[in-house]
Amino acid sequence: MKKVDVVAAIICDDYKKKTKIFATQRGYGDYKDWWEFPGGKIEEGEAPEQALVREIMEKMNTALKDGGVMYASFKYGDGTKMRGERRFIDFNEESVVPLFENAGFTILHKEIGSDSRPGREDEKWVNVIGKKTK
């Protein structure tokens, strides 16, 4: 049997309450119409966390109508980092561009902003508004 490595994310509306969970409905194959968490196959040479971010961006593109707009915010920095037992990918104003463009978005606006939480004012975020173009 062939081994296929995959990734998936559970995306919720609130870290503590979790009243809404983002799921996608399969449109093809043996599991057509089944619901699943966003994710997919890890491509050759791709780290799992890179695959997960790519897959989520692709799913967001699929969820939007043509010309639809999305907002995303990423911790400012370079590369993958461990914070406690969790792994994060940080982006900067340059590295975020191919993430959006490869997923079929044109960047309408991007900026670097400060964290508004008390005690975290020195932390930076890359905020991006993208429009679905394909």
What type of residue is 115?
D
pLDDT of residue 106 exceeding 90, the answer is yes
Structure confidence by residue, pLDDT tens digits, 6-57: 999 888 877 777 788 888 888 889 989 999 888 889 999 988 888 988 988 9
* Domains along the chain with CATH numbers: 1-63 (3.90.79.10), 66-134 (no CATH)
Structure confidence by residue, pLDDT tens digits, 75-86: 999 988 888 887
> How does the average pLDDT of the chain come out, rounded?
89
Where does the pLDDT of residue 114 fall: very low under 50, low under 70, confident under 90, or very high at 90 and above? very high
Give the gyration radius of the chain's Cα atoms.
16
pTM: 0.77
| Separation of alpha carbons 108 and 54, rounded Å | 19
pLDDT of residue 89 exceeding 90, the answer is no
pLDDT at 110: 96
pLDDT at 17: 76
Q: Which residues pair with 74 in a beta bridge?
A: 126
| Separation of alpha carbons 77 and 75, rounded Å | 6
DSSP string, 41-60: EPPTT--HHHHHHHHHHHHH
The answer to whether the beta carbons of residues 56 and 99 sit under 8 Å apart is: no
* The two three-digit tokens of residue 48, written as one number: 């799992």
> Among candidates 98, 109, 115, which has minimal Cα distance to 131?
109
pLDDT at 32: 93
pLDDT at 20: 86
What is the average pLDDT across 89-114? 94
pLDDT at 38: 85
Burial degree of 58 (CB within 10 A; 0-12, 13-18, 19+): middle
